[in-house]
Amino acid sequence: MVSADIVSKATDAGLSICFLENELMKNHTTFQIGGPVELMAIPKDRKSLIGLFRLLAEAQTSPVYIMGNGSNLLVSDEGIDGIVVKTEDALKDLNICGTVITAGAGVSLARISTFAKENSLSGFEFAHGIPGTLGGAVYMNAGAYDGEMKSVVTKTEYLKNNTIEALLDDNHQFTYRHSFFSDHPECFILSSQISLHAGQQDEITAKIADFSNRRREKQPLNYPSAGSVFKRPTGYFAGKLIQDVGLSGYMIGGAQVSEKHAGFIINREGATCRDVLDLIKLIKITVYDRFSIQLECEVKVIGRNV
């Protein structure tokens, strides 16, 4: 069995990794949805993470799924074949040199924003309330309010074919919810440099508080979700389109279109992956029939029969 072989080789190599068999993915996603994965690997440091990737490549193990904190992930109720590598614990480094912060891909955006504030650096306030890690944010060029990763990320270190490489500036190919990494899933993000500028700590604190208050007022933060489900169509807002077709509050099973922000689907009451997928399908069909606009889902869906 490949899983047992990987565990044995990782142990022999002295890698610091927690392995969990048949682990329920609902315990690892912000949607709180998902069946068991054959094997979950949680490396405890960067060396062990890179060592694990090399073992997986040598064994030609497939499929392998990489995840951070599961904030943009919807997993099948039937679970996942193969191995999930949860990277959040392994890539926690956070350093500063002048106005540049270097952070591991597993560091939360909120932690980076707070770290920047503590060092009187401005430019990352927009990311404070985005519920994800830096790796996922760079991968999809996450953004909110007055900023996005494109405006602050100047260098990214990544692993490709067991070799550590780096991207600089425009080579990230950032566009709306897209980056170089969106087109190169074989590349795994290890860390990024974030270039900011000096600011007044009280002003930075006030800006973070303002953005946080806006989120609490407009977003359903008291229910499990994966954030905004759809990308913003050019010239429109997905939430407004969904609201205008009368789907605010609509439920399928335990999944509901949020009444507070129609761009969110929430796990209102024991929602399944199928509930969410059926609701996404209904929304896309209804919006297209009314406005001839094709909504594009930005939540990653993985697992059996999805």
- The 3-state DSSP class for residue 96 equals strand
Name the residue range of residue 22's domain.
Answer: 2-86
Please give the structure tokens belonging to residue 274: 């199928």
Residue-wise pLDDT tens for the chain (306 aa)? 567 789 999 999 999 999 999 999 999 999 999 999 999 999 999 999 999 999 998 888 888 999 999 999 999 999 999 999 999 899 999 999 999 999 999 999 999 999 999 999 999 999 998 988 999 999 999 998 879 999 999 999 999 988 999 999 999 999 999 999 999 988 999 999 999 999 999 999 999 999 999 888 999 999 999 999 999 999 999 999 999 999 999 999 999 999 999 999 999 999 999 999 999 999 999 999 999 999 999 999 999 998
Catalytic residue among 38, 78, 157, 298: 298
Number of folded domains that form the chain? 3
CA 72 to CA 65: how far, in whole Å? Answer: 13
Same-domain pairing of 118 and 194: yes
Q: Is 269 a catalytic residue?
A: no
188 and 102 within one domain: yes
Q: Which residues lie closer than 8 Å to 237 by C-beta, 6 or more apart?
A: 263
Q: Residue 291: inside a domain, yes or no?
A: yes
Answer yes or no: do 82 and 103 share one domain.
no
Domain stop point among 63, 86, 109: 86
In a domain, 211, yes or no: no
Write down the catalytic residue from 54, 177, 232, 274.
Answer: 177
Q: Is residue 181 part of a domain?
A: yes
To the query of whether residue 298 is one of the catalytic residues in this protein, the response is: yes
Read off the CATH number of the domain in which 8 is found.
3.30.43.10
Residues 228 and 128 in one domain: no
Active site residue 268: no
Q: Which of 48, 113, 228, 258 is catalytic?
A: 228
Residue 78 within any structural domain of the chain: yes
Return the DSSP state at 233. Answer: P
Residues 174, 141 share a domain: yes
Q: What is the pTM of this model?
A: 0.90
